[in-house]
Amino acid sequence: MADLQIYGIARSRAFRVLWAAKELALNYDHVQIGFDGSNKTPEYLAVNPLGAVPAIVDHGFKLSESLAINLYLAKRAGSGLYPASLEDEARTWQWTLFAATELDFPILDWARHTTVLPPEKRDPAVAAKALGTLAPKLAHLDATLRDRPYLLGERFTIADLNVASVMYRLLWGDLTQTPAAKAWLDRCYDRPAAREARALRE
Protein backbone atom coordinates (compact mmCIF):
# COMPACT_ATOMS: atom_id res chain seq x y z
CA MET A 1 0.00 0.00 0.00
CA ALA A 2 1.26 3.48 -0.89
CA ASP A 3 1.58 6.20 1.77
CA LEU A 4 -1.00 8.31 -0.09
CA GLN A 5 -4.59 7.23 -0.74
CA ILE A 6 -6.77 9.26 -3.10
CA TYR A 7 -10.48 8.59 -2.66
CA GLY A 8 -12.97 9.33 -5.40
CA ILE A 9 -13.79 8.18 -8.91
CA ALA A 10 -12.20 10.17 -11.74
CA ARG A 11 -15.64 11.29 -12.97
CA SER A 12 -15.94 13.50 -9.89
CA ARG A 13 -13.97 16.39 -8.46
CA ALA A 14 -11.36 13.75 -7.62
CA PHE A 15 -10.22 14.35 -11.21
CA ARG A 16 -8.56 17.54 -9.97
CA VAL A 17 -6.50 15.67 -7.40
CA LEU A 18 -5.63 12.84 -9.79
CA TRP A 19 -4.29 15.41 -12.24
CA ALA A 20 -2.17 17.00 -9.49
CA ALA A 21 -0.87 13.63 -8.29
CA LYS A 22 0.17 12.74 -11.82
CA GLU A 23 1.74 16.15 -12.36
CA LEU A 24 3.76 15.64 -9.17
CA ALA A 25 4.60 12.01 -10.06
CA LEU A 26 3.34 10.86 -6.65
CA ASN A 27 3.03 7.24 -5.67
CA TYR A 28 -0.59 6.72 -4.60
CA ASP A 29 -3.44 4.26 -4.33
CA HIS A 30 -6.65 5.29 -6.08
CA VAL A 31 -9.65 4.18 -4.03
CA GLN A 32 -12.75 4.04 -6.23
CA ILE A 33 -15.31 5.77 -4.03
CA GLY A 34 -18.35 6.82 -6.06
CA PHE A 35 -21.99 7.62 -5.41
CA ASP A 36 -23.22 4.05 -5.19
CA GLY A 37 -23.25 4.09 -1.40
CA SER A 38 -19.50 3.54 -1.10
CA ASN A 39 -19.21 7.21 -0.08
CA LYS A 40 -21.52 6.71 2.90
CA THR A 41 -19.96 3.62 4.52
CA PRO A 42 -18.62 3.99 8.06
CA GLU A 43 -15.11 3.37 6.69
CA TYR A 44 -15.33 6.24 4.21
CA LEU A 45 -17.17 8.56 6.63
CA ALA A 46 -14.17 8.11 8.93
CA VAL A 47 -12.06 9.61 6.13
CA ASN A 48 -14.51 12.39 5.20
CA PRO A 49 -17.51 12.77 7.51
CA LEU A 50 -19.37 14.63 4.71
CA GLY A 51 -19.25 11.54 2.52
CA ALA A 52 -18.09 13.64 -0.42
CA VAL A 53 -15.18 13.01 -2.75
CA PRO A 54 -12.36 13.64 -3.15
CA ALA A 55 -10.48 13.09 0.07
CA ILE A 56 -6.98 11.87 0.77
CA VAL A 57 -5.15 10.11 3.54
CA ASP A 58 -1.45 10.91 3.42
CA HIS A 59 0.70 9.08 5.98
CA GLY A 60 -2.43 8.95 8.13
CA PHE A 61 -3.24 12.67 7.62
CA LYS A 62 -6.81 13.13 6.37
CA LEU A 63 -7.82 16.02 4.12
CA SER A 64 -10.84 16.88 2.00
CA GLU A 65 -11.71 19.73 -0.43
CA SER A 66 -10.19 19.08 -3.84
CA LEU A 67 -8.38 22.39 -4.25
CA ALA A 68 -7.01 22.44 -0.70
CA ILE A 69 -5.71 18.91 -1.27
CA ASN A 70 -3.90 20.13 -4.38
CA LEU A 71 -2.29 23.06 -2.56
CA TYR A 72 -1.17 20.67 0.16
CA LEU A 73 0.21 18.04 -2.20
CA ALA A 74 2.09 20.57 -4.32
CA LYS A 75 3.62 22.25 -1.26
CA ARG A 76 4.48 18.99 0.44
CA ALA A 77 6.15 17.64 -2.71
CA GLY A 78 8.50 20.63 -2.62
CA SER A 79 7.90 20.89 -6.32
CA GLY A 80 8.20 23.76 -8.76
CA LEU A 81 4.43 23.59 -8.97
CA TYR A 82 4.12 25.42 -5.64
CA PRO A 83 5.22 29.07 -5.76
CA ALA A 84 8.37 30.15 -3.94
CA SER A 85 7.55 33.74 -2.96
CA LEU A 86 4.98 34.91 -0.41
CA GLU A 87 3.31 37.05 -3.06
CA ASP A 88 3.04 34.21 -5.56
CA GLU A 89 1.71 31.94 -2.82
CA ALA A 90 -0.97 34.55 -2.06
CA ARG A 91 -1.81 34.80 -5.77
CA THR A 92 -2.16 31.04 -5.83
CA TRP A 93 -4.68 31.22 -2.99
CA GLN A 94 -6.44 34.07 -4.78
CA TRP A 95 -6.85 32.08 -8.00
CA THR A 96 -7.77 28.92 -6.15
CA LEU A 97 -10.50 30.66 -4.18
CA PHE A 98 -11.64 32.41 -7.36
CA ALA A 99 -12.08 28.99 -8.97
CA ALA A 100 -13.93 27.58 -5.95
CA THR A 101 -16.23 30.52 -5.28
CA GLU A 102 -16.71 32.24 -8.65
CA LEU A 103 -16.41 29.46 -11.24
CA ASP A 104 -17.23 26.04 -9.80
CA PHE A 105 -20.99 26.31 -9.28
CA PRO A 106 -21.96 28.28 -12.41
CA ILE A 107 -19.88 25.89 -14.52
CA LEU A 108 -21.66 22.96 -12.90
CA ASP A 109 -25.06 24.59 -13.51
CA TRP A 110 -24.18 25.23 -17.16
CA ALA A 111 -22.90 21.67 -17.66
CA ARG A 112 -25.88 20.07 -15.94
CA HIS A 113 -28.37 22.01 -18.03
CA THR A 114 -26.58 21.50 -21.36
CA THR A 115 -25.13 17.98 -21.27
CA VAL A 116 -25.13 16.19 -17.92
CA LEU A 117 -28.85 15.94 -17.09
CA PRO A 118 -31.20 13.92 -19.28
CA PRO A 119 -32.62 16.26 -21.98
CA GLU A 120 -36.08 16.46 -20.38
CA LYS A 121 -34.58 17.77 -17.13
CA ARG A 122 -32.45 20.48 -18.74
CA ASP A 123 -33.55 24.08 -18.32
CA PRO A 124 -32.02 26.42 -20.94
CA ALA A 125 -32.78 29.41 -18.68
CA VAL A 126 -30.54 28.00 -15.94
CA ALA A 127 -27.76 27.38 -18.47
CA ALA A 128 -28.10 30.91 -19.87
CA LYS A 129 -28.08 32.46 -16.39
CA ALA A 130 -24.93 30.48 -15.52
CA LEU A 131 -23.20 31.75 -18.66
CA GLY A 132 -24.18 35.30 -17.72
CA THR A 133 -22.67 34.83 -14.28
CA LEU A 134 -19.50 33.37 -15.78
CA ALA A 135 -18.96 36.03 -18.45
CA PRO A 136 -17.24 38.71 -16.30
CA LYS A 137 -15.20 36.08 -14.46
CA LEU A 138 -13.94 34.59 -17.72
CA ALA A 139 -13.23 38.09 -19.04
CA HIS A 140 -11.10 38.70 -15.94
CA LEU A 141 -9.20 35.46 -16.54
CA ASP A 142 -8.76 36.37 -20.20
CA ALA A 143 -7.40 39.84 -19.40
CA THR A 144 -4.88 38.33 -16.98
CA LEU A 145 -3.66 35.83 -19.55
CA ARG A 146 -3.23 38.26 -22.44
CA ASP A 147 0.36 39.11 -21.50
CA ARG A 148 1.54 35.87 -19.90
CA PRO A 149 1.25 32.15 -20.64
CA TYR A 150 0.26 31.15 -17.09
CA LEU A 151 -1.55 32.76 -14.19
CA LEU A 152 1.56 33.59 -12.19
CA GLY A 153 3.79 34.31 -15.18
CA GLU A 154 6.02 32.12 -17.31
CA ARG A 155 5.57 28.79 -15.57
CA PHE A 156 2.66 26.39 -15.03
CA THR A 157 1.88 26.17 -11.31
CA ILE A 158 -0.70 24.66 -9.03
CA ALA A 159 -2.70 27.89 -9.49
CA ASP A 160 -3.18 27.00 -13.16
CA LEU A 161 -4.00 23.40 -12.33
CA ASN A 162 -6.62 24.36 -9.77
CA VAL A 163 -8.39 26.87 -12.02
CA ALA A 164 -8.10 24.77 -15.20
CA SER A 165 -9.34 21.64 -13.46
CA VAL A 166 -12.41 23.49 -12.17
CA MET A 167 -12.98 24.59 -15.79
CA TYR A 168 -12.94 21.01 -17.11
CA ARG A 169 -16.53 21.16 -18.42
CA LEU A 170 -15.72 24.34 -20.35
CA LEU A 171 -13.49 22.27 -22.65
CA TRP A 172 -16.84 21.74 -24.40
CA GLY A 173 -17.91 25.37 -24.02
CA ASP A 174 -17.70 28.31 -26.39
CA LEU A 175 -14.74 30.41 -25.26
CA THR A 176 -14.35 32.40 -28.48
CA GLN A 177 -15.06 35.64 -26.56
CA THR A 178 -12.08 34.94 -24.31
CA PRO A 179 -9.32 33.69 -26.66
CA ALA A 180 -6.42 34.13 -24.23
CA ALA A 181 -8.26 32.08 -21.59
CA LYS A 182 -9.12 29.47 -24.22
CA ALA A 183 -5.46 29.21 -25.36
CA TRP A 184 -4.32 28.90 -21.74
CA LEU A 185 -6.93 26.22 -21.00
CA ASP A 186 -5.77 24.23 -24.04
CA ARG A 187 -2.13 24.68 -22.94
CA CYS A 188 -2.94 23.31 -19.49
CA TYR A 189 -4.88 20.32 -20.86
CA ASP A 190 -2.13 19.55 -23.35
CA ARG A 191 0.16 18.50 -20.51
CA PRO A 192 0.87 14.76 -20.26
CA ALA A 193 -0.49 14.59 -16.68
CA ALA A 194 -3.73 16.26 -17.74
CA ARG A 195 -4.12 13.84 -20.64
CA GLU A 196 -3.57 10.88 -18.31
CA ALA A 197 -6.11 12.19 -15.80
CA ARG A 198 -8.66 12.84 -18.56
CA ALA A 199 -8.21 9.31 -19.85
CA LEU A 200 -9.40 8.04 -16.46
CA ARG A 201 -12.80 9.71 -16.91
CA GLU A 202 -13.52 9.89 -20.64
Binding site for ligand GSH (CB under 6 A): 12-13, 35, 39, 51-54, 65-67
Q: Is 59 left (phi over 0), alpha (psi -120 to 50) or beta?
A: left
Q: Of all residues in this chain, which one has the CB nearest to ligand GSH in the complex?
A: 52
β-strand pairing of 61-64 with 55-58:
antiparallel
- Closest contact distance (angstroms) between CB of 177 and ligand GSH is 27
Looking at the Cβ atoms of 53 and 71, the one nearer to ligand GSH is: 53
Looking at the Cβ atoms of 67 and 141, the one nearer to ligand GSH is: 67
- Closest contact distance (angstroms) between CB of 2 and ligand GSH is 21
- Closest contact distance (angstroms) between CB of 14 and ligand GSH is 7
- Closest contact distance (angstroms) between CB of 108 and ligand GSH is 9
171: which DSSP letter? G
Per residue, what are the HEC states of 173-195? Answer: CCCCCCHHHHHHHHHHHCCHHHH
Question: Could you give the CA distance from residue 173 to residue 184 in angstroms, rounded to a whole number?
Answer: 14
Looking at the Cβ atoms of 66 and 114, the one nearer to ligand GSH is: 66
Evaluate whether 69 touches 7 at the Cβ level (below 8 Å): no
Looking at the Cβ atoms of 156 and 168, the one nearer to ligand GSH is: 168
